[in-house]
Amino acid sequence: MFVVTSRAIFKSLKTNRIAKVIVLKDTIFPYVFHSSVLKRNAFARFVSLTGSVSGENQSIENTNGNKLCFETGACYIPHFEKRQTGGEDAYFMTPKAVGVFDGVGGWASLGINAGLYSARLAELTQEKIAQLGPCEALRALDCAVTANDQIGSSTAIVVGICGDRAVGVSVGDSGLVIFRDGDIVFKTVEQQHYFNCPYQLGTDSNDAVDMGQKIDIPLRVGDILVLGTDGLFDNLFDKDIKMAIEKTNAFHPNDCAMLLAKKALTCSLDTKRDGPFALNSKKAGYLFLGGKADDITVLVCRVESLH
């Protein structure tokens, strides 16, 4: 096992005493990854955070007597061609807020690693939420965009627990699906200027956080939230995600995140299975066959009571 060295993760370790942050390479649990990707040394990151933490920055929001938190697992598998730079996705996780960010790869044509922008945006957003509280997830993202000193752009989805509600915003084509008792009770909608050109925050972009889809949904203990970049949602249908969620109550969200990322990876490399991206391509008048290889980030959050 290898310790993750990203600044954002170490920042979370400072405020979450019992957080576990490890990297599992293909030498451990090789069954996780598709064989063709194993040859390229793909890796995954897993983080587990519980609500049993203390500290000034982990204050418990209480509305109508409800005290809720996230128990969250995450898995990140970068595109095999981006493994040396770590890919362009980023995320953060705390017991009261989570976020997923997808750096726009088009910056590579200018010699810029968009992964640096998304990583900094994730770090700043987490810091702002610690200052403002999880109820201000949208404002925290807006402040983070203004403060980001990196060049690039990124999609973003940030969700915080405010009393007994999930509040936040989604900008672009990363997504959130909320399951309750096996049924989907909420799903974000992709925001695109045109096909495969999502709304994005950052350098020279006219898109703003206020243009994003607002999130304000009641939560119950046992609800499951799945957040992911388009590497997940371009390759898996709702029914595929639901099948994994149905098993979540029997094992940890880490395992569910790993299962979803593994399935998305396998589908992305399948040239015979048309996934959501291929079907949407046809609707837009383009011919695209098979899955879509991309960075894959999956967060699975189970809503728990702090009592």
- Give dist(CA 93, CA 13) in Å, integer: 10
Task: Supply 179's token pair.
Answer: 């399951």
Give all domains of the chain, ordered by start, each with its CATH number.
7-305 (3.60.40.10)
Q: Mean pLDDT for the chain?
A: 81
Residue 128 to residues 98, 112, 124, 160, 178, Cα–Cα distance (Å): 12, 26, 6, 12, 24
Mean pLDDT to the nearest integer, 81-107? 93
Asked if residue 33 has pLDDT above 90, the reply is no
Provide the total of helices (H) and of strands (E) in the chain, helices listed first. 8, 15
Given a contact cutoff of 8 angstroms between Cβ atoms, the answer to whether 265 and 179 are in contact is no
Answer whether 0.85 is exceeded by the pTM: no
With tokens 């972009």, the residue in question is 205
Distance separating alpha carbons of residues 172 and 97, to the nearest angstrom? 19
**pLDDT one-digit tens code per residue, 274-307:** 999 999 999 999 989 999 999 999 999 999 998 7
Cβ neighbors of 233 (< 8 A, separation 6 or more) are 173, 174, 175, 190, 276
Residue where the block lists tokens 């936040």 = 168
What is the spatial distance between Cα 185 and Cα 178, in angstroms, rounded to a whole number?
6
CA distances from 129 to 12, 69, 89 (A): 12, 15, 20
Q: Per-residue pLDDT tens for 39-83?
A: 333 344 444 333 322 222 333 343 344 589 999 999 999 998 888
The CB-side HSE value for 122 (13 A sphere, CA atoms) comes to: 28
Q: Maximum distance among all alpha carbons in the chain?
A: 53
